[in-house]
Amino acid sequence: MTYTNTNTNMTTSAGIAPSLQTYYNRTLLQSFEPELVHLQFGEVYPMPQNNGMVMSMRKIVPLEAKTTELAEGNPGDGTLLSETQVTVPLKQYGDYSNFSDLFDLANIDCNLTRKVELFANAGARSIDAVARDELATCTNVIYAGGKTSRSALTSADKLSSVELRKAARMLKKANAQRFNGYYVAIVGPETIYDLQDDESFIKVSQYSDSENIYTGEVGRLFGVRLVETSEAKIFEGAGASGADVASIIVLGKYAYGVTSWKGAKPRVIIKPSGSAGTADPLDQISSVGWKMDGFGVKLLQPEYAVRIECGFTA
């Protein structure tokens, strides 16, 4: 069944002053930005508005090594650059809730600012999950504990420096470039807990002052900087005897692209009671929601991404 929204006030909120609308949008953005760990290592490709719904990105094919000596005075024919087109559809994401006037009058804690914060947090996790799930489709996979499949993993097959070193080796062999000298691994709290037992683990507090710290970064190990997020992917019940399996994504530079309409940002939409006209004849219903227009994520160089799968300490 197709749902028809009879409340057509879809852009700005009647009854909300522009200064308040700006304030609530700022509240949403402040909550959004720290959560988007999976987006911070992608190449950004802004999409001009009024140019359709599909963004065309370019995957650059690395140049071959040249071992034939030059003839004196002859530079040769040169080499043509090669690139492959990769497309990603731009999609809308969002959510909202309706609130009765009695709810707003009776509820003690859930004022408008709190509602915006709740939707901002949910929206941030939603957009982050879109990127996370795309990265998890990479085909370079390492299973912890020497296992050869996800279904064979147990909680005892924990993440260790061995798997990180294997992932770094795989990226090096693919000639994946580094982020300021390091590869990056996106890890969950469960797996970073196990990894911190390694004596070679360097905590972020031990870095020199000259190093830039990524959002969520907690340390580094064997040339891999570790970024923690509670939104790291878990394959629930996918291991041996129904064990949960954690996913760690290890990235080189240029592995994936992020696109949205140029200038588009997530925004809050607030509709006060009475703004719907005859659809709300007694001014009983208000709503709060978030929306992101025209957004997409795509692996561009899958060989520059490695997924480690492992068990973890409960």
Res 13: pLDDT: 41
Please say if the pLDDT value at position 172 is more than 80: yes
Which pLDDT value is given to residue 84? Answer: 74
Give 182's strand partners.
179
Contact (CB, 8 A) for 35 and 227: no
18 three-class SS: helix
Q: Coil, strand, or helix at residue 110?
A: coil
Q: Which one-letter amino acid corresponds to residue 277? A: G
Highest mean pLDDT among 58-62, 97-101, 182-186, 258-262: 182-186
124-140: per-residue pLDDT in tens?
A: 889 999 999 999 999 99
CB 11 within 8 A of CB 291: no
At residue 16, the pLDDT reads 54
Distances (CA, A) of 283 to 113, 121, 274, 276, 286: 20, 28, 4, 8, 8
Stated pTM of the model: 0.80
Instruction: Report the percentage of the chain scoring pLDDT > 90.
Output: 44
pLDDT tens digits for range 6-19: 443 333 344 455 65
For residues 157 and 146, what is the distance between their CA atoms, to the nearest angstrom? 8
* 108 pLDDT more than 80: no
pLDDT at 297 over 80: yes
Lowest mean pLDDT across 36-40, 55-59, 168-172: 55-59
Tokens of 135: 């990265």
CA distances to 6, 55, 107 from 102, rounded to whole Å, are 21, 45, 8
Task: Name the H helices within 141-220.
Answer: 161-173, 189-195
Residue 104 has pLDDT above 80, yes or no: no
Segment 212-263, tens digit of pLDDT? 889 999 999 999 999 999 999 999 999 999 999 999 999 999 999 998 877 6
Q: Comparing C-alpha atoms, which of 266, 258, 297, 292 is closest to residue 93?
A: 292
pLDDT of residue 217: 93
Give the mean pLDDT of 58-69: 69
**Could you give the CA distance from residue 270 to residue 128 in angstroms, rounded to a whole number?**
23
Q: What is the C-alpha separation between 282 and 263, in angstroms, rounded?
A: 37
3-class SS of residue 21: helix
CA angle 250/252/258 to nearest 5° reads 95
